[in-house]
Amino acid sequence: MAEELEIADLGWTDRQGTASRQPGSCAPMLGEPKPNDVLDGRFVIVDTVNRGGMAWIYKAVDRTTGQIVALKIPLMHCECDASFYSRFQREEAIGLTLDHSGVVKFIPTGVTKSRPYIAMEYLEGETLAAWLHRTPRLPEAQAARLASQICDALNYLHRNGIVHRDLKPENLMICKDGAIRIMDFGIAKSTDAKRLTFGGFSSAVGTPDYIAPEQVKGKRGDGRTDIYSLGAMLYVMTTGTAPYEGDSPFVVMNARLSGDPEAPRQRNPQLSAPMEEIILHAMEREPGRRYASAAAMKAELDDYSEVTLEERSKRLRPVGVFSAYAPLLKNMAWVVAAQILAFLLLFMYFSHRHHAKSIVTSSPTATQTRT
């Protein structure tokens, strides 16, 4: 057998034990794992849990411990993308440093991988998205408890220099014992990590309903970015509706740059004033006006007497129709202008050719007889 050459950037080799590719290049087609397949002699595939836009999630048995685990394996076309692969590496690197009851646990494999994958604890329960699909509006007390648990986990992440940047109901698992865990660190940021290229918004890496304004502007964000996303989720949990609405994801995202959401109590009159204040405080468009920390937000969720009623609902700025559509209209204007310019250039070109042809036709030829 050839000498095993580990690729430091990838941490895995091919099945013959030789270095097989560079980051972002396509590996030989390994195919989709099937039940009873054994990965690296350790993980026995049991079933497919979910197939997302970027990766498969499998239920598997860890032969080393006998425990049920979850395996996240990238789709083959994603492995060929250098930017995605760097994010996948970073997700595992970040996950392995975390240890908190509110964060999914990553499992070190201790083997040279034959293909890229991440091993995690298998969670019994359902996502917050599934809860909200079944019960669009949660009782306020229940929503406050869930948000408080999320704040506790966020406080841990932020104190350790990690910003999740993709908080949404799909990435929160409510376990059978009532505990909630944050999952999917695919676009999470570590304060000491280099910046990676982000290919754009999609259902696989972000949901417009929960993205903070600074993310729409292309900024990296910090802990307050996660606080905004939590505020948006709390808005949905307590009102049953998204804070912003529009005909397209880009309209929804741009709306938060120019205006505020409708006051939560306008959509749910039974909501208490302190809860409305907490939501709007977390969803301030300017990061500097939000909670300084997840711990500060948790303190108010746990004890409404800590909430200072600043009547933020009376200072909300409505989203103008033009403002929300302005970026799209601006792009359309550039397209129309480009088309007009192209038409004018073509018109000038053909007019010049016609004029030149007329001059040649009307001039005396070299063979013309002199009179």
Length of the chain: 371
Q: Tens place of pLDDT for every residue, the chain, 371 residues?
A: 333 322 233 333 333 333 344 444 444 446 788 999 999 999 999 999 988 778 899 999 999 999 999 999 998 777 777 888 888 989 999 999 999 999 999 999 988 898 899 999 999 999 999 999 999 999 999 999 999 999 999 999 999 999 999 999 999 999 998 899 999 998 898 876 554 444 444 433 357 899 999 999 988 899 999 999 999 999 999 999 999 998 888 889 889 998 999 999 999 999 999 999 999 999 999 999 999 999 999 999 999 999 999 999 999 999 865 444 455 445 555 556 667 776 677 767 666 665 555 555 555 544 444 44
Domains, the chain: 1-122 (3.30.200.20), 125-325 (1.10.510.10)
Q: What are the residue numbers of the active site?
A: 166
Q: Say which residues have a Cβ less than 8 Å from residue 243's Cβ, sequence separation at least 6.
A: 209, 232, 235, 236, 256, 261, 262, 283
What global pTM score does this model have?
0.77
| Contact assessment for residue 68 and residue 122, using Cβ atoms and an 8 Å cutoff | yes
| Contact assessment for residue 251 and residue 234, using Cβ atoms and an 8 Å cutoff | no
Q: Which residue type does 196 have? A: L
Instruction: Return left, alpha or beta for 240; rule: phi > 0 is left, psi -120 to 50 is alpha, else beta.
Output: left
Beta bridge partners of 51: 56
